[in-house]
Amino acid sequence: MASRPDTTSVTIDGNDRSIVLVGMMGVGKSTIGKLLAGKLGLSFVDSDEEIEKAAGMPISEMFERFGESSFRDGERRVIARLITEGPKVIATGGGAFINDETRRLIKEKCRSVWIDADLDVLIERVSRRSNRPLLVGKDPREVLTDLATKRTPFYAEADIHVRSDSGPHARTVNQILEALA
């Protein structure tokens, strides 16, 4: 029997740029990124995981031992490397796109997607994980409100803007696929 084309996989004609997901912590960049990569037949990489591999320690330990600026330096270098490695879906940490050099590189060489959500959705989602150093011992609503205010103008520079709500991530993936097509 003749095999039918795989309708679950979507190709973006003539585009071999990586797709980089940016946005606040807790918005679902990694989960959405994996689903999106599956649909596009691309590999998926999470920049936080790559930083941890390169440093040989968890991000929380990097913050504790060397401070945030050392983490940011590693983040900038790791993302620059990932971008040179051929087309993939890259989920970045919430602060990555705020760095001028990283943002410039992403905008020049990739397609960027800002995934955005209401504060209440973010607060509910960050409560599922306790290892985010910027939130340890703090009120997540206060921290996220402050970060969102500072970061939104940078995220808004992304090529594509989608909103995620408390519904399934697959819905956000479909919005991204439509915007990319």
Q: Could you tell me the two tokens for 145?
A: 């409100």
**59 contacts ligand S3P (rule: CB under 6 A):** yes
**48 contacts ligand S3P (rule: CB under 6 A):** yes
Q: Could you tell me the two tokens for 99?
A: 């760095």
> Judging by beta carbons within 10 Å of its beta carbon (0-12, 13-18, 19+), is residue 47 exposed, middle or buried?
buried
Query: Shortest Cβ contact with ligand S3P: which residue?
Result: 93
Please say which residue, 59 or 121, places its beta carbon nearer to ligand S3P: 59
Q: How far apart are CA 92 and CA 90, in angstroms?
A: 6
CA dihedral (59, 61, 64, 66) in degrees, to 10, reads: -80
Q: Residue from 18, 94, 164, 176 that binds ligand S3P (CB under 6 A)?
A: 94
**132 contacts ligand S3P (rule: CB under 6 A):** yes
Please say which residue, 61 or 159, places its beta carbon nearer to ligand S3P: 61
Please say which residue, 110 or 126, places its beta carbon nearer to ligand S3P: 126
Residues facing residue 162 across a β-bridge = 115
Q: Residue from 10, 105, 119, 134 that binds ligand S3P (CB under 6 A)?
A: 134
